[in-house]
Amino acid sequence: MTDPIDRTNLPYRPCAGAMLLNRHGQVFVGQRLDSVLEAWQMPQGGIDPGEAPLAAAIREIGEETGIAPRYVELIAQAPDELEYDLPDDLIGKVWKGKWRGQRQRWFLFAFTGEDSDIDIATPEPEFRAWRWVEPAELPDLIVPFKRALYQTLLEVFEQPLRTRGRLSDHPIP
């Protein structure tokens, strides 16, 4: 039996995330290929060395959804990085054991294209399915260890989401 990994000695993985809204104020979520859970998540991924977080978020949208950059417009960005820790049973198993969790820069985008501009069958696919959901549904759709982060995102982006008309009908839980 191996000793548990001491998470305090592991750094957070730098990451960018994208909340992508359609014209109806719904959020894009995808169901990961590498998970058997019924969990859905927004596009996100690592920031490459020397890459700006905004550029990473736009790149991740393209890599995970097939959406071309011309179909995304920045609405807002979170003022601070948000962090989450992996649960103990995943420490040392994901990301080759290099990270304890992620520290993420989040951006809110408008999707100006059509559903036909989305193609998750990308060269390196990450999602097996996708759909649009109401923003308030997000915390219930994500894996449990990311729920608090998604709840925080709803609070951080509350004003632009209200402006887009979605949170007034669907209060933040």
Q: What is the pTM of this model?
A: 0.87
Q: What is the pLDDT of residues 102-113, one digit of tens each?
A: 899 999 999 999
Tell me which amino acid residue 163 is: T
Report the relative pairing of strands 127-133 and 27-32 from DSSP bridges.
Answer: antiparallel
Q: What is the pLDDT of residues 9-56, one digit of tens each?
A: 788 889 999 999 999 999 999 998 877 677 899 999 999 999 999 999
CA distance 173 to 158: 12
Give CA–CA dist 117/71, Å, rounded.
Answer: 8
Q: Where are the domains of the chain?
A: 14-163
The answer to whether residue 146 scores a pLDDT higher than 50 is yes
112 with 71: CB under 8 angstroms? yes
- pLDDT for 173 beyond 50: no
Q: What residue type is assigned to position 79 of the chain?
A: P
Give 172's pLDDT tier (boundaries 50, 70, 90).
very low
The CATH architecture to which 14-163 belongs is: Alpha-Beta Complex (3.90)
Tokens 């995102």 sit on residue: 153
The contacts of residue 102 (CB under 8 Å, 6+ apart) are 12, 13, 14, 15, 44, 83, 84
